[in-house]
Structure 1
Amino acid sequence: MGQDPITLIVSLVGGIFSFLLLMRFALQLSQADYYNPISQSVVRVTQPIVSPLQRIIRPRGRFDLATLIVALAVKAIAILVLVQFSPLFASAGGSINPLHVLIFSLTGVLNTLLTIYFWATLGAVIISWVAPDSYHPAPQLLLQLTEPLFALARKVIPPIGGLDLSPILIFLLIQIVQSYLKPFVVI
């Protein structure tokens, strides 16, 4: 609550836009339904900023490097703006190490991607209990987003007597990785 308004706005806008870019990346990576209304909205919002770089760096199959680079740039710009308004920046002499900005941006992007998969996995688990055959676009998108991750985890822990323990493995791995990233995450 003790943040100044500029820091709060930059964190919020940078966080939301990088979230949308990484959501687009994750949806394409998992080959989620492109014609899902939620997918269409994410693409429509992020297309103006991603399309110039996609002309240079074309997506290769499911992997869209251009979207990932733009998400990294958004994180880096948000970090640079936050550092400029930080009182510690003025007292440190006003120099910014580009390597630190790159490291904080990379860890921020990875942390956001892991957070997306954490909540998507939790949502998919709840949907599988409550409404497993729902035709609503949101549950379908969550299941499409998490199914490749579940399939990978099922290779390590196969279902036991009809009980799928793969979400537990996914939650555990995400929490372990995020605990190591925590000191480096700015936004």
Structure 2
Amino acid sequence: MATQSAFGFLIETIFNLYLMVILLRIWMQLVKADFYNPLSQFVVKATHPVIGPLRRVIPSLGSLDTASVLFAFAVACLKITVLLLMAGSQLSPQAIIIIGGLTVIKEAFNIVFWVLVIRAILSWVSQGYNPIEAALHQLTEPMLAPIRRVIPSLGGLDLSVLVLLIALQFFQVLLFQQIL
């Protein structure tokens, strides 16, 4: 039983990490992040083998890359299916679709949370130009700028990241509390 849970952990972690990379691609496209940044290049190269052919078939809706969104949803549903098969359980296809959608939303909250935390930590220790920090800045600045207009920095301390982290956690708890 312990072996099965260890393999379950490993499989869930691999699926979650790849799902985060897919969601990072969607997010980078929405904010028009620098394509030539090393982080952007990694994300594109890690997802292009599947998303490239899908983009030829599935058109985008404005600036939203629907092929990437559908691929993220498919990866989440595949994750649920594999974990259920490992556990010897079954769910209806409708339940897998619903849980897959919730998984994508949960991982979207997680990726935003971790990007904000990493950006905050890098702002304390980074000295000079760092391409990863630049990419994280491009991703988070559209969310942080409106907060900074309302809550200015206090003595050089920027509280916008903290406010956004609290708001994200609040909305995540509120959303999943309503669903469950």
Gaps of 5+ in 2: none
Alignment CA distance shift 1:16-1:56 (3 Å): same
TM-score relative to the length of structure 1: 0.82
Does residue 1:174 correspond to 2:168, yes or no? yes
Give yes or no for contact 1:107–1:181 (8 Å, CA) kept in 2: no
Aligned to 1:126: 121
Aligned to 1:144: 138
Alignment CA distance shift 1:146-1:3 (3 Å): farther
Q: CA deviation at 1:74?
A: 0.4
Q: Comparing 14-23 with 175-184, which one deviates more in the overlay? A: 175-184
Aligned to 1:25: 26
Q: CA deviation at 1:144?
A: 1.1
Does residue 1:84 correspond to 2:85, yes or no? yes
Give yes or no for contact 1:31–1:62 (8 Å, CA) kept in 2: no
Aligned to 1:117: 112
After superposition, give the CA deviation of every residue in 1:66-96 in whole Å (9 maximum; x if it has no partner).
1111011001011011112214x2xxxx4x2
2:9 & 2:118 partners in 1: Cα distance?
28
Q: CA deviation at 1:2?
A: 3.2
Aligned to 1:159: 152
Q: How many equivalent pairs are there?
A: 177
Alignment CA distance shift 1:148-1:10 (3 Å): same
- CA-atom RMSD, angstroms? 2.5
Q: CA deviation at 1:126?
A: 2.5
How many percent identity over aligned positions? 33
Counterpart residue identity of residue 152, structure 2: P
Give yes or no for contact 1:30–1:62 (8 Å, CA) kept in 2: no
Aligned to 2:60: 59
Secondary structure at 1:62's aligned position in 2?
coil
Q: Greater share of helix residues, 1 or 2?
A: 2
2:25 & 2:96 partners in 1: Cα distance?
23
After superposition, give the CA deviation of every residue in 1:114-153 in whole Å (9 maximum; x if it has no partner).
111111112222233333x632211111111111111233
Counterpart residue identity of residue 148, structure 2: R
1:3 & 1:11 partners in 2: Cα distance?
14
Q: CA deviation at 1:60?
A: 4.3
Alignment CA distance shift 1:31-1:77 (3 Å): same
Give yes or no for contact 1:114–1:178 (8 Å, CA) kept in 2: yes
1:81 & 1:181 partners in 2: Cα distance?
25
Q: CA deviation at 1:182?
A: 5.6
RCO (CA 8 Å, sep 6+): is it higher in 1 or 2? 1
2:30 & 2:3 partners in 1: Cα distance?
36
